[in-house]
Structure 1
Amino acid sequence: MMRARDLLRCSVICDGEAFGRVEGFLFDDAQWAVRYLRVVPEDGREGGCALIAPAAIGECDAEARELYADLSARQIADSPAMRERSDLPRDEEMALITHFGWPAYWADSPQLKGAASEAGTGGVAQLRSLDALCRCEALAADGQVAGAVADVFLDTTDWAVRYLAIAVEDRDEAMLAPPDWVRSADWNAGELRFGVSSESLLTGPART
């Protein structure tokens, strides 16, 4: 597993050369999986950043801080430009996956498929940014604020979120909470509501 924040600023290698650097992630909070890496090209691409699906990442070299993409630099350069924003209009997302030939990640999920159908081509994909997640307080089932989300731990084999790292006041270590403990999220209020007690959150596994 790797911290998402440790992957920020990693180089994305295409055709043997650095194409750009990872500046963020977009994930869905239904399956808790990264759907896109937000990459800013080294040459300062006009119009914004590029979005790359994890399926296109072939190798992750944590020591060298490099991610190897199974894409050509030309493929990415010719892809639809994405603005620096946390939401992703569905029509722009469809143009993106059509350009690369990626499968629609929501096709195998009834929950995500229903949301996609409801949104239609004029809607917005239900994706969340790492920045938005790390602005959230962690509320336990008993109503107490256990801490604040500081990071997530990712499994880079399937890019699933394995743990949320909860920063707790007066503790050097972050408490790890699996995402299936999350009962609901209020993104406007910046709150993740967990279905377990504050004691469970505060006595779980810890990680520096």
Structure 2
Amino acid sequence: MLRSLIDLNEYAIHATDGNIGHVKDFYFDDEGWAIRYFIVDTGSWLLSRKVLISPIAIGKPNWAEKTLPVLITKEQVKNSPDIDTEKPVSRQHENHYLGYYGYPIYWGGAGLWGAGIYPDMMMPGYLGDNTSTNTLPQEAVINGSRPEEVERHQNSGSHLRSCKAVIGYHIHASDGDIGHVSGMLVDDETWAIRYFIVDTSNWWLGHQVLIAPLWVEEVRWLDRTVTVNLTRQEVKDAAPYDIAVELGREQEVDIHQHYGRAGYWEHEESNKDVELYD
């Protein structure tokens, strides 16, 4: 199901032995367009220290109570690597973090998460249904990635971006401005960012439309602009997005057909049966 990141702010993160804190922001990677970490404010028990929580650890969410359970303990969080969330997070920082929790690396594989598309399948000892035996051998850390690909990305610069920081970015079509980013919709199983919610109020009647990150041609981070390979007329003719109405697959198909683009689900369906470990 698709969920608004704005709605996920302030969700409580529950460890196996108590509350950790509340979600304040998210880091997404600007290559895979997926949420890689939740930035969590721990509140008084850790002096409001901000920690990173990976979707790899998230169990079955309780959407009614707005809580996300994680398969880690408060002690693990307390002793986790201290990462300054106000500065870029390097691959070296990520290696340290992932190594501390014993998680496989997510980059370098053929899928969104290593060799697969679901983050919880990377949990050590994964058995399905969000359970873990923690018995996988250390060599599984490669997680289906080719060693040369892992090494190639090992020392690359940070590709992690704050979701909050992207709100307000201007969207440029091939023939002019469209509007600005007012939110994002994410898949609550893969944690992939599926759509930007684009507010066209400074150009066309003030309604919102959905544009997929996969259609982005260029992002100028310093200029806070996103260029997409669409025309203003195509956007003008697109169905408006109503945040109060749940977006189903039928509506997604209509959006992609309108823009003449293949659906992301077509590629992912073909990869669902790929083995996580060779």
> TM-score w.r.t. structure 2 length?
0.67
Say if 1:13 and 1:68, in contact at 8 Å, map to a contact too.
Answer: yes
Q: Does 1:146 align with 2:178?
A: yes
- 1:166 maps to 198
What's the offset of the Cα at 1:167? 1.0
Aligned residues: 204
User: Structure 1 residues 115, 204: closer, same or farther in 2, change over 3 A?
Assistant: farther
In 2, Cα distance between the equivalents of 1:35 and 1:26?
6
In 2, Cα distance between the equivalents of 1:167 and 1:10?
25
- 1:180 maps to 214
How does 1:1-208 map onto structure 2 within 5 Å?
A: 1-43=2-44, 45-46=46-47, 48-85=49-86, 87-108=88-109, 117=152, 120=155, 124-142=157-175, 144-169=176-201, 171=205, 173-205=207-239, 206-208=241-243
Deviates more, 1:197-206 or 1:25-34: 197-206
In structure 1, stretches of 5+ residues that fail to align are: none
In 1, Cα distance between the equivalents of 2:150 and 2:171?
25
- 2:144 maps to none
What's the offset of the Cα at 1:15? 2.0
Say if 2:15 and 2:70, in contact at 8 Å, map to a contact too.
Answer: yes
In 2, Cα distance between the equivalents of 1:68 and 1:47?
19
Amino acid at match of 2:76: Q
Amino acid at match of 1:193: T
Amino acid at match of 2:179: G
In 2, Cα distance between the equivalents of 1:30 and 1:10?
26
What's the offset of the Cα at 1:63? 2.0
In 1, Cα distance between the equivalents of 2:161 and 2:236?
25
User: Structure 1 residues 55, 187: closer, same or farther in 2, change over 3 A?
Assistant: same
Deviates more, 1:3-12 or 1:82-91: 82-91
Q: Which has the larger radius of gyration?
A: 2
Instruction: Give the secondary structure class of the aligned counterpart of 1:61.
Output: coil
Say if 1:60 and 1:156, in contact at 8 Å, map to a contact too.
Answer: no
In 1, Cα distance between the equivalents of 2:171 and 2:149?
27
What's the offset of the Cα at 1:176? 0.7
Say if 1:168 and 1:175, in contact at 8 Å, map to a contact too.
Answer: yes
Task: After superposition, give the CA deviation of every residue in 1:7-46 in whole Å (9 maximum; x if it has no partner).
Answer: 0111001125221000111111222111111111132535
Identical columns (%) = 23
Say if 1:26 and 1:34, in contact at 8 Å, map to a contact too.
Answer: yes
In structure 2, stretches of 5+ residues that fail to align are: 115-147, 244-278
Say if 1:176 and 1:207, in contact at 8 Å, map to a contact too.
Answer: no
Amino acid at match of 2:84: R
Of Structure 1 and Structure 2, the greater strand share is in: 1
